[in-house]
Amino acid sequence: GIQVEQSPPDLILQEGANSTLRCNFSDSVNNLQWFHQNPWGQLINLFYIPSGTKQNGRLSATTVATERYSLLYISSSQTTDSGVYFCAVDRGKSTFGDGTTLTVKP
């Protein structure tokens, strides 16, 4: 099946810093989503982005489907951005990466 690798596995930032999270996938995909899992375990959809670039406030994402990767950018990070960020792809079935755990310190 398709492999999804996320990097880095852990990231610690000071409030106000910027960060880039990466998702590599091993084959072409139909769909790609980024999620944020908050400390209570709730998965919140951030972007549906099988290709191209999208922005939502301080967050933006870019997927280069031909090169099989996606990037999630977080600018001016806040403590509420802490949590685990997951990339999920769909090629016949839904597959998640193991996530990037982000800790934003005040």
Partner 1 sequence: EAGVAQSPRYKIIEKRQSVAFWCNPISGHATLYWYQQILGQGPKLLIQFQNNGVVDDSQLPKDRFSAERLKGVDSTLKIQPAKLEDSAVYLCASSLERAYRGPGNTIYFGEGSWLTVV
28 binds partner 1 (CB under 8 A): no
Terminal alpha carbon distance of the chain: 40
Piece of 13-21, 42-50, 61-69, 71-79 that binds partner 1 (CB under 8 A)? 42-50
Q: Tell how many helices (H) and how many strands (E) occur in the chain.
A: 0, 11
Residues 6+ apart with CB under 8 A from 57: none
Question: Is residue 5 part of the contact set for partner 1 (CB under 8 A)?
Answer: no
Contacts with partner 1, residue ranges (CB under 8 A): 4, 30-31, 33, 35, 40-45, 48, 50, 86, 88, 90, 92-99
